[in-house]
Amino acid sequence: MKPFKAAVFDLDGVVVDTARFHFLAWQRLAQELGFEFTEKDNERQKGVSRMESLEILLEVGGCTNLSPEKKEELAAKKNEWYKEYLYEMTPADILPGARDFMEYLRRRGIRTALASASKNAPIILEKLDITELFDAVVDGNSVSKAKPDPEVFLKAAEKLGIDPSECFVFEDAQAGVEGAKRAGMRVVGIGKRDILQKAEIVVSGFPEIEPVILLSCIELKDTCAMEYGHV
């Protein structure tokens, strides 16, 4: 196995809990359209693009035959509500342990990249004041295919100038884990083992595990991280 040279981070659900804001905004749209939208339905939207998320919501509500213009209008409306939450964010909203872990990796000479499906990634990085923590940023504005397509991860590796097999990805979504695996990368799942079964290591969050231990687990591709958190 090749050594690990770069860490590629998903954004929503890994570095910041914007997944909650996405859910609230989609739920508001569903309410306006007259149906219920649950957290279970929302799980399928994680990591996929805005328009694919809308298709999932419309399928749940049985809303068929909407024109492309109407769909664009609904997605834009949801995004405006979502951005209301983003504007309220401050650097304190970075998920516990994420900054410490990224800084630790960088001190160890490991390169870092962002690989997010979100077109709002630049605003989020700016609000959290973490743009400088990434050597490369690839987001929804620079990819044509959404996760589980590997494009966003392959572009991140290309921008870093590092072979995909030398990258480890941190992901909270099934679509993201799948995309990273298809890119030939190894994955640390952030969340629940039953949802992120294909990841090599799963932890419930960065504070569950000391950076030094998580890094050793990744380097050894050991199963020791499995003992941490709820997994």
Binding region for Mg ion (CB under 5 A):
10, 12-13, 47, 172-173
The Cα-based distances of 221 to 61, 180, 225, 226 in angstroms read 42, 16, 9, 11
Which residues define the annotated binding site for Mg(2+)?
10, 12, 171-172
Binding to ligand B16 by residue 151, rule CB under 6 A?
Answer: no
CA nearest neighbour of 122 among 108, 140, 104, 105: 140
**Binding partner selected for residue 118 from Mg ion, ligand B16, none, CB under the kind-specific 5 to 8 Å limit:** ligand B16
H helix runs in the chain, sequence order: 18-33, 39-43, 50-61, 68-87, 98-107, 121-128, 151-160, 174-182, 211-220
Single out the residue of 7, 10, 105, 162 in contact with ligand B16 (rule: CB under 6 A): 10
Binding to ligand B16 by residue 58, rule CB under 6 A?
Answer: no
Residues 112-141 that bind ligand B16 (CB under 6 A): 116-120, 140
Which residues define the annotated binding site?
10-12, 26, 53, 78, 116-120, 147, 171-172
> Which of the ranges 7-15, 130-138, 184-192, 223-231 carries the binding residues for ligand B16, by CB under 6 A?
7-15
147 touches 175 (CB < 8 A): yes
> Which of the ranges 6-14, 55-63, 125-133, 215-223 carries the binding residues for ligand B16, by CB under 6 A?
6-14
Which distant-in-sequence residues (6+ apart) come within 8 Å of 125 by Cβ?
11, 114, 131, 134, 137
| Catalytic residue check, 10 | yes
Neighbours of 49 (CB within 10 A): 20
| Catalytic residue check, 139 | no
Binding to ligand B16 by residue 53, rule CB under 6 A?
Answer: yes
Q: Which residues are catalytic?
A: 10, 12
